[in-house]
Amino acid sequence: MPKVALVTGSNKGIGFAIVRSLCKQFNGDVFLSGRDAGRGTAAVESLNSEGLKPLFQQLDIDNPESVRAARDFFNEKYGGLDVLINNAGIAFKNADTTPFGTQAEVTLKTNFFATRDMCNEFLPIIKPGGRVVNVSSVMSSIALNRCSPELQARFRSNDITEEELVGLMERFVQEAQAGAHSQGGWPDTAYGVSKTGLTVLSRIHARKLRHERPADQILLNACCPGWVRTDMAGPTATKSPDEGAITPVYLALLPAGAGEPQGQFVMDKKVHPW
């Protein structure tokens, strides 16, 4: 059975560049995915014109039924998944006038809660020797440092549970909606908090894999792709999408038998202290 890789949110931007790079380097089937079948198929055809052969899977991470349908597809067709790159994410522009409470709710819905749903559905079908990469952001670290000392201590602790983390993310949304997030010890960045949550979730899930499946040698890490010229970051960013793909692909292709990095936050292929 061929090996198989899935990249979420990959019809454009960094995700698209990750698919391109995996098609050149990964020995197996590579699935480009996105909400919209039309845009996804167009993206596949664009890579076909470069001589690459990705496949397309319709997947809306915000829709639990779509997530479960994709999980069932990979389980039935491939007996699981070898590489999962959780790249799908959203960000409001700095100039956006949407109320902060709404920005908090919408941003965390995709970047934290939906990505957590992806992990909880797909981690059980990741094959031995598999690799999971959560595309976070340096903003996760910046937002962490702007949190209250109490929140920082929990987010950095090695005993925080997934339930506690979910409770804290829900609290941020509630306090943002009430206009009370600053008093609650939170920074003024919904995107940053969503990515703090994702980096901490990565640490929790890696710890869980170590405890529950130690023999399977699955490596799970969070990373920052850098400041990349995409629809999200805009045209003045310093990296091309192909440059942004380098660290996620490096983590996806860590050699068989490697024990680390595991549960780390990685930038420019280097582990950064959390």
Q: What is the largest CA-CA distance in the chain?
A: 54
Give the sign of the dihedral formed by CA 2, CA 81, CA 108, CA 271: negative
Q: Is there a catalytic annotation at residue 78?
A: no
Pairing relation of β-strands 270-272 and 81-86? unpaired
> Torsion angle, CA of 21/24/26/31, rounded to 10 degrees?
70
Residue 24, C-beta contacts closer than 8 angstroms, at least 6 positions apart: 52
The gap from C-alpha 239 to its chain's centroid, in whole angstroms, comes to 19
Question: Would you say 274 and 265 are in contact if contact means Cβ atoms under 8 Å apart?
Answer: yes
Pairing relation of β-strands 265-267 and 270-272? antiparallel
For residues 7-38, b (16+ Cβ closer than 10 Å) or e, as one string? Answer: bbbbbbbbbbbbbbbbbeebeebbbbbbbeee
Catalytic option among 78, 122, 186, 191:
191
**Residue 64 phi/psi, 5° resolution?**
-55, -35
Pairing relation of β-strands 55-58 and 81-86? unpaired
Judged on CB neighbours under 10 Å (0-12, 13-18, 19+), 245 is buried
Enzyme catalytic residues: 191
